[in-house]
């Protein structure tokens, strides 16, 4: 059972996965009836591509991309065991329908593959739930729980490509007034709208994370500071050019401020984020709807003192 604290979408998906597993358990009864009553079990057992004909595989195909993103290796094991399970079942049933005794090796293969399917499904479900726990239910963006891992990955990748990693902390301007004037439901729409624009205007492999409240962090990989500035300017301009369309037809303009910190070699994530945060407040002080760079290697606790 999935905890109620998970999003409705997560609970629904896990319920679907459990139901799909039950479909395949029901399919095994066809094999049992063939063994006991010698009745043909149907094409989803006897067909050479039965593993693609069964209802379980049809569900799996419709969600393959999502499951592969969560745990591609386990999904491959599930595919392999699922096919082996069908192959063994077909061999068993063909022998029985021909009047021959069942083969112990086929039965062993069937039982081994079935156990593999059950184990892989359990691993995939647990991996999906764990993955979902790291996502913000409102915006669909990752939460800060996995930020350290993403920071290290992006920093290493940037070094390999001869680029710099730039931490961008972005905060929606005057967001409290959005909630106060329009209500929290509109505030939620605004956060989703801003998150979608951020994700759209960052390159693949550049994580966008909901840091908390109306604050977001993007990890940009840029050839130089000018390239990073242009990327942030595109994001801020996208917010200006794409007002949120409210249910009543009114347009709600959104603005944001951003702080940028170019990560030094050996710099910790916490220090880089603190510098970006300090730069963000400088952007706010400069009138908002703009960006500022953090001082290189400055200690945020003493900068400006």
What confidence tens digit (pLDDT) does each residue in 131-159 have?
A: 777 778 788 888 887 789 899 999 999 99
Q: Specify whether 287 is located in the same domain as 155.
A: yes
Residue 219's CATH number: 3.30.70.270
Q: Specify whether 280 is located in the same domain as 164.
A: yes
Average pLDDT, the chain: 88
Q: What is the pTM of this model?
A: 0.62
Query: Quick one: pLDDT at residue 3?
Result: 45
What confidence tens digit (pLDDT) does each residue in 83-98 have?
A: 999 999 889 889 889 9
Residue 139 lies in a domain: no
H or E element: which one contains 126?
Answer: helix 104-133
Query: Which of 98, 133, 168 is a domain's end point?
Result: 133
CB 222 within 8 A of CB 163: yes
Task: Examine the pLDDT at 283 and tell me if it is beyond 60.
Answer: yes
Report how many domains make up the chain.
2
Cα gap 110→115, rounded to integer Å:
9
Residue 170 lies in a domain: yes
Residue 101's CATH number: 1.20.120.30
Q: Specify whether 124 is located in the same domain as 197.
A: no
* Band of pLDDT at residue 256, cut at 50, 70 and 90: very high
Task: Report the DSSP beta bridge partners of residue 11.
Answer: none
Query: Quick one: pLDDT at residue 305?
Result: 34
Of 12-21, 114-123, 252-261, the range with the highest mean pLDDT is 252-261
Q: Specify whether 160 is located in the same domain as 222.
A: yes
When comparing pLDDT for 104 and 259, which is higher?
A: 259
Q: Specify whether 49 is located in the same domain as 90.
A: yes
247 contacts: CB under 8 Å, gap ≥ 6: none
Query: Quick one: pLDDT at residue 6?
Result: 56
Residue 2 lies in a domain: no
Q: Specify whether 199 is located in the same domain as 86.
A: no
Q: Specify whether 97 is located in the same domain as 172.
A: no
Residue 97 belongs to domain spanning: 8-133
Residue 299 lies in a domain: no
Task: Examine the pLDDT at 235 and tell me if it is beyond 90.
Answer: yes
Q: Specify whether 115 is located in the same domain as 161.
A: no
Segment 70-81 mean pLDDT:
91
Q: Specify whether 112 is located in the same domain as 201.
A: no
Q: Specify whether 85 is located in the same domain as 154.
A: no
Residue 302 lies in a domain: no
Exposure string (b/e) for 76-113, b if CB count within 10 Å is 16 or more?
ebbbebbbbbbbbbbbbbeebeeeeeeeeebbebbeeb
For the chain, the residue count is: 305
- Bridge-based pairing state of the strands 256-262 and 291-293: parallel
Q: Specify whether 170 is located in the same domain as 286.
A: yes
* Band of pLDDT at residue 7, cut at 50, 70 and 90: low
Residue 305 lies in a domain: no
Residue 303 lies in a domain: no
Query: Which of 133, 160, 189 is a domain's end point?
Result: 133
Query: Quick one: pLDDT at residue 302?
Result: 44
Q: Specify whether 279 is located in the same domain as 167.
A: yes
Task: Report the DSSP beta bridge partners of residue 258.
Answer: 170, 291
Query: Quick one: pLDDT at residue 49?
Result: 83
270 — phi, psi (to 5°)? -60, -40
Residue 218 lies in a domain: yes
Query: Which of 114, 133, 152 is a domain's end point?
Result: 133
Query: Quick one: pLDDT at residue 296?
Result: 65
């Amino acid at each position: 059972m999935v905890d109620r604290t998970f999003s409705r979408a997560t609970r629904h998906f896990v319920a679907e996965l459990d139901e799909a597993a039950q479909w395949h358990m029901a399919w095994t009864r066809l094999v049992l009836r063939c063994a006991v009553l010698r009745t043909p079990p149907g094409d989803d057992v006897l067909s050479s591509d039965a593993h693609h004909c069964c209802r379980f595989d049809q569900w799996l195909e419709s969600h393959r991309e999502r499951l592969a993103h969560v745990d591609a290796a386990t999904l491959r094991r599930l595919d392999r065991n699922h096919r082996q399970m069908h192959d063994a079942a077909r061999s068993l049933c063909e022998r029985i329908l021909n009047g021959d005794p069942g083969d112990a090796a086929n039965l062993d293969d069937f039982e081994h593959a079935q156990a593999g399917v059950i184990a892989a499904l359990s691993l995939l479900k647990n991996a999906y739930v764990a993955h979902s726990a790291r996502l913000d239910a409102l915006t669909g963006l990752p939460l800060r729980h996995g930020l350290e891992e993403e920071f290290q990955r992006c920093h290493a990748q940037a070094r390999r490509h001869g680029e710099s990693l730039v931490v961008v902390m972005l905060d929606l301007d005057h967001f409290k007034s959005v909630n106060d004037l329009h209500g929290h439901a509109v505030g939620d729409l605004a956060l989703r709208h801003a998150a979608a624009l951020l994700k759209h205007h960052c390159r693949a492999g550049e994580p966008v994370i909901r840091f908390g409240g109306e604050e977001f962090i993007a990890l940009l990989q840029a050839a130089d500071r000018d390239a990073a500035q242009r990327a942030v300017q595109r994001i801020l301009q996208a917010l200006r050019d794409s007002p949120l369309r409210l249910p009543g037809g009114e347009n709600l303009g959104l603005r944001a401020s951003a702080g940028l910190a170019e990560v030094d070699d050996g710099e910790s994530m916490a220090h880089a984020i603190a510098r970006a945060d300090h730069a963000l407040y400088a952007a706010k002080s400069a009138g908002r709807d703009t960006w500022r760079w953090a001082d290189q290697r400055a200690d945020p606790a003493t900068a400006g003192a």
